[in-house]
Chains A and B, each alone.
Chain A
Amino acid sequence: DAMVIQNPRYQVTQFGKPVTLSCSQTLNHNVMYWYQQKSSQAPKLLFHYYDKDFNNEADTPDNFQSRRPNTSFCFLDIRSPGLGDAAMYLCATSSSSSPYNEQFFGPGTRLTVL
């Protein structure tokens, strides 16, 4: 089945220690998104790639970076995690050729910062 895969599902890191979260997709979608979701809140868009074009949300901290080496993979790098970065991180994809541009989500990675 075509899907969005996130690894790992649970990640523990130390305060200030860089961490990378991974997302891959078999849907061949050209748009990929990273969201941060804190407890009992809606997902908050951090950035998205439209093909190779990177689009950062205005309020996304510089501590968050992303890479998309090819269509299938996208990475979220947190350069110096703080306690406030503990959250669920959701990857999503969509196709700009779809008239409704619905997003398909991965299962998420739960990040804990010690």
Chain B
Amino acid sequence: AQSVTQLDSHVSVSEGTPVLLRCNYSSSYSPSLFWYVQHPNKGLQLLLKYTSAATLVKGINGFEAEFKKSETSFHLTKPSAHMSDAAEYFCVVLLRGTGGFKTIFGAGTRLFVKA
């Protein structure tokens, strides 16, 4: 079965400290992977995407994610959290099969940033 698991429903960090949001996927096919951020009452904004060109992907606002095939993981990191990073983060897998594309969302991780 294909799935996406975000290992933490909530993560709390202090401003200026590193952020780690964890995502594991399960797929029989080679997936495309994305991280989206959603601020309250807003739509989803694409942070970064894994395109198979490089395992370490740089995104907007200082975020990075590393694709590790052996661990089936695509964790999101940022060296130093900012108050404006407080939001909901979704790991998304796009699977290509014989029936076309299928998008699978993780359950989301709420990031809290303390001053």
A-side interface residues toward B, CB under 8 Å?
4, 6, 40-43, 45, 50, 88, 90, 92, 99-108, 110
B-side interface residues toward A, CB under 8 Å?
32, 34, 36, 41-46, 49, 51, 90, 94, 100-101, 103, 105-108, 110
Q: Are A42 and B90 in contact (CB under 8 A)?
A: yes
Cβ-Cβ contact count across A and B, 8 Å cutoff: 48
Pairs across A and B, CB under 8 Å, 12 listed? A40-B110, A42-B90, A42-B106, A99-B51, A101-B101, A102-B34, A102-B46, A103-B44, A103-B46, A104-B46, A106-B43, A108-B43
Please give, as numbers and ranges, the residues of chain B lying within 8 Å of A42 by CB-CB distance.
90, 105-108
> How far is B8's CA from A32's CA once the two chains are assembled, in angstroms?
30
Please give, as numbers and ranges, the residues of chain A lying within 8 Å of B32 by CB-CB distance.
100-102
Please give, as numbers and ranges, the residues of chain B lying within 8 Å of A106 by CB-CB distance.
43
**Closest CB pairs A-B (n = 8):** A105-B43, A42-B105, A105-B44, A107-B43, A100-B32, A108-B43, A106-B43, A42-B108
